[in-house]
Amino acid sequence: MKKWLISSCILLFSNALFAEESNQFEIGKQKAKVCMTCHGVDGIATIDPYPNLRGQRASYLISALKDYKSRERTSGLAILMQQQADALTDQDMKDIAHYYSTLGSESHSKTE
C-alpha cells in the first residue's frame, strides 16, 4: 500500500511539473515573437550577424539579456538588443530563455 501511494504521488508530481514546463514553454513562445524577427522562427537565425538561440542554456540567455539591459554588452549590434531588453521584466527573460533552451528538445518537438 505504501509503495502504491508513493508511486502515485511521484506520478502526480511529475505530471504537474510537465504541465508547468509546457505552460512556460508556450508563454515564452508568445513573448519571443519579437525575437523571431532576427533570430528566426525556429531559433535559427537566417541573417549572419544574429546568433542562433535554439538550444542555448537558459542561464546563458538570461545572463545575456540582463547584460544588454544593464549596458554591459555594447559591441556589434548590441544597441538593438539593449532596446529589446529594456522592455523585458525578469520573468519575461526567464520565460523567453526557457522557450529557446527547450526549443527542439524531444519534449517540445511536437509543439513546434
Give the model confidence (pLDDT) of 35-92 as tens digits: 999 999 999 998 999 999 999 999 999 999 999 999 999 998 999 999 999 999 999 9
pTM recorded for the entire structure: 0.77
Q: Tell me what pLDDT residue 32 has.
A: 97
Banded pLDDT at 105 (limits 50, 70, 90): confident
pLDDT tens profile 1-24 = 556 545 444 444 444 444 456 799
Residue 48: partners with Cβ closer than 8 Å, 6 or more residues away? none
Q: Tell me what pLDDT residue 3 has.
A: 61
Cell numbers linked to 110: 511536437
Place of cell 501511494: 5
* Cα atoms in the Cβ-side hemisphere of radius 13 Å centred on 62: 15
Task: Please tell me the distance from the alpha carbon of residue 39 to that of residue 51, in angstroms, as a whole number.
Answer: 7
Q: Tell me what pLDDT residue 18 has.
A: 47
User: Of 56, 68, 70, whose CA–CA distance to 101 is shortest?
Assistant: 56
